[in-house]
Amino acid sequence: MADQLRVDAPEVRAFAVEANGLNVIDDADRKGTPRQLFWPWFGANVSVLGLSYGAFALGFGISFWQAVIAGVLGVTFSFLLCGLIALAGKRGSAPTLVLSRAAFGVRGNKLPSLVSWMLTVGWETVLTILATLATATVFERLGWGGGDLTKLVALVVVGALIVLCGVLGFDLIMRAQTVITIVTGVLTVVYIALVADQVHWSTVTSLPSGSSQEVIGALVFLMTGFGLGWVNAAADYSRYLPRSASSRGVVGWTTFGSTIAPVVLLVFGLLLAGSSQDLSTAIASDPIGALAEALPTWFLVPFVIVAVLGLVGGAVLDIYSSGLALLSLGLPAPRYVAAFVDGLVMIAGTVYVVFFSSESFLSQFQGFLITLGVPVAAWCGIMLADIATRRRDYAEADLFDRRGRYGDIQWLPIATMVIATAIGWGLVTNSLAGWLTWQGYLLEPLGLGGKEGAWAFANLGVLFALVVSFLVQYFAGRSRVRAQEVTA
């Protein structure tokens, strides 16, 4: 607990509703050091879902070592993007989607706010779905049920935990993440020890190598599944740090805290999935519950605890940030109301997928990540370029004033995001999700083999959107940033 971000108020403040919303954090409330960012980021990413990504990566038809390289690079680079965007929080002490107004304009920022809201609500729904399915699978094996009633009870408990943390806000989230980090960290190590004998090195290393396009596809998928899913919330927690805090420390501790657990879990997940094709197939329909098959009965209850807590750890950060994104869209309500609304959307989405949808979870999950990954990557590129060109802290009042230095609507970044997204969607595919068959429309015109060609599943659209948006904003938007910084 010593490293936990603290406040001077009594302990009970963690159970009070946070008053902060889109506002800039007052100097008196900014405290802590960059290394304390380790707790929320580690706690949000220590979920056993990281093990399932091993099966997801091998599903691209690549070898173990190719998957390790793609995983380490994809996870580390994508969370480095989070660390860089977290710098804006320290410099502006406002939520990520408020600081984004400096690039897009006060009202122009509604476009990335909408995309951000869809992504964060989607992620918290995915994590709630996984927690519900995992609980039902384990209870069924224990003979304690496992049908719709078990799923309903699990949904109620998990949903209540997530919504409670989201509504009460920052202090409770920070305290909860410390507990989640310790409990899930210890139990995950125990899980790895118990199933280590299921790894067959000769089987893993005999997996055939895939093409360079398939390696790129796995790398991009892992980027979108890890760091790119968090970039739009990266400054929401660093905004509580003093502006005198080390910039290098903010980047380093955010990147380290969020990367270390996913890399370890992914590599072990590759060993498990590479050792058993049956496990890889089972993970596609129930990514968490399938991991329990190799466990002794006595550890099933602890496994449910580690699985649910890990997923809740990620979901509470998402619901907090999705509430802020909803406010930045213009919802005329306090932050806790926005978080509650998002909780209702999350529960409704979970009910549909768990009780009514018959489609493969993995295909829908991949489609969700890649489809929203393109516009988020475009926004990320623009935001990174804007941060890189600024030499001064943000003018706080102007972030809320359409007539201020940041303007009302900035058309260059908006056009860049829209065009990069349109081109990006033309360069990605997901044939397993019926609602995404329209994507990939540029693969054939650009001579990349069409939707069945070698480049079809490389998902180049995500990388294109990230790189091109950064370059356009950095070189074409630099003069506007300079003009803003000399404005009295």
Flag whether pLDDT at 62 surpasses 70: yes
Tens digit of pLDDT for each residue in 189-204? Answer: 898 999 999 999 999 9
The mean pLDDT value of the chain amounts to 87
* Single-letter amino acid, residue 309: L
Kindly give, in sequence order, each residue whose CB lies less than 8 Å from that of residue 149, ignoring residues fewer than 6 positions away. none
pLDDT band for position 2 (50/70/90)? very low
**Which residues in 99-243 belong to E strands, given as ranges?**
none
Q: Distance between CA atoms of 127 and 47, rounded to whole angstroms?
A: 10
388 vs 449, which has greater pLDDT?
A: 388
DSSP 358: -
* The pLDDT of residue 419 is above 70: yes
State how far the Cα of 223 lies from the Cα of 226, in Å rounded to an integer.
Answer: 5
Span 42-47, average pLDDT: 82
**Predicted pLDDT of residue 116:** 92
Mean pLDDT check: name the lowest of 69-73, 128-132, 180-184: 180-184
> Nearest 5°: CA angle at 318, between 173 and 401?
95
pLDDT at 376 over 90: yes
Give residue 168's pLDDT.
76
The rounded percent of the chain whose pLDDT value lies above 90 is 45
How confident is the model over 469-487, as a mean pLDDT? 90
* Mean pLDDT in residue range 171-181: 72
User: 106, 26, 117, 90: which is closest to 387 by C-alpha?
Assistant: 90
pLDDT bucket at 9, cuts 50 / 70 / 90: very low
How confident is the model over 222-276, as pLDDT tens digits?
Answer: 999 899 988 998 998 899 899 889 999 999 999 999 999 999 999 999 999 999 9
Q: Which pLDDT score, from 0 to 100, does residue 3 have? A: 36
pTM to 2 decimal places = 0.87
DSSP 18: P
Tell me the DSSP string of 207-262: SPP--HHHHHHHHHHHHHHTGGGTGGGTHHHHTTS-TTS-HHHHHHHHHHHHHHHH
Q: Is residue 4 scored above 60 in pLDDT?
A: no
Sequence-separated contacts (24+) of 329-333 with Cβ below 8 Å: 329/110, 329/113, 329/114, 329/117, 330/110
Q: How far is CA 220 from the centre of its chain?
A: 14
Confidence of residue 71 (pLDDT cuts 50, 70, 90): very high
- Using CB atoms within 10 Å of the CB of residue 296, give its burial: 0 to 12 exposed, 13 to 18 middle, 19+ buried: exposed
51 vs 57, 239, 280, 373, CA distance in Å? 11, 31, 11, 21
Burial (CB count <10 Å: 0-12, 13-18, 19+), residue 246: middle
